[in-house]
Structure 1
């Protein structure tokens, strides 16, 4: 498995951990500041505040026990990765695609969700 796959798989484990523990303030920190979430409800959620509201509503609706299965991770230049994977939780299962962005500066060198699309 590639290094990119391992990086994203570890990030997915962290996403699961934070979501399942209800730690949404930390969870939205996994997104870029300008991150976008495009769920099947036909709305677009932009920025961490809106993304947090979406995930809070999901938890309030009874969604829990999230599990992400990392599928493929493709490199798209030096600062982007494209992940195509699947998810399962207490109420549904489906597929998703994330464009991950490498963020740097202030001692940071990490991958964050930039565009998150699922159905």
Structure 2
């Protein structure tokens, strides 16, 4: 069972991730990732390292993703690693197009680092 204090930290990290989209600032979104994190975007190569992940999210934001709302369904684990299962909604508004929403499902592995709990592995795909 994950302690309430740790759950609050993960929730705060997810809120910070979403805040980056609202502000259009990929550095805020990327700040929740560990330095050696890996992102597994759908139908694309793995993105490795926080700098590359920040650039990835910057490109995603420029393509029209303006919001990301994440909901944790389960958070479990112990020691220095946790795993999170959740759902989300991406709010997309590409220039000149009608706004839309994309529902997603995700799994994240969190790692306790010297800088606190950081997203180590992040994978998601579309959800009906």
TM-score, normalisation: structure 1: 0.86
Bigger radius of gyration among the two: 2
Contact 1:72 1:85 in 2 (8 A): yes
User: Aligned pair 1:89/2:90, yes or no?
Assistant: yes
Give the corresponding residue for 1:70: 72
Please give the per-residue CA displacement for 1:67-93, whole angstroms capped at 9, x wherever unaligned.
Answer: 111111011x31011000111022311
Gaps of 5+ in 2: 93-101
Q: Quote the offset at 1:2 in angstroms.
A: 4.6
What residue is the counterpart of 1:114 in the other structure? 120
Report what 2:99 is aligned to.
Answer: none
Q: 1:98 Cα shift?
A: 0.5
1:54 aligned partner: 56
Q: Indicate the RMSD between aligned Cα atoms, in angstroms.
A: 1.6
- Asked if structure 2 preserves the Cα contact closer than 8 Å seen for 1:86 and 1:93, the reply is yes
Aligned residue pair count: 114
2:17–2:30 Cα contact (<8 Å) kept = no
Aligned to 1:103: 113
Q: Does the CA-based 8 Å contact 2:72-2:86 persist in structure 1?
A: yes
SS in 2 for 1:64: strand
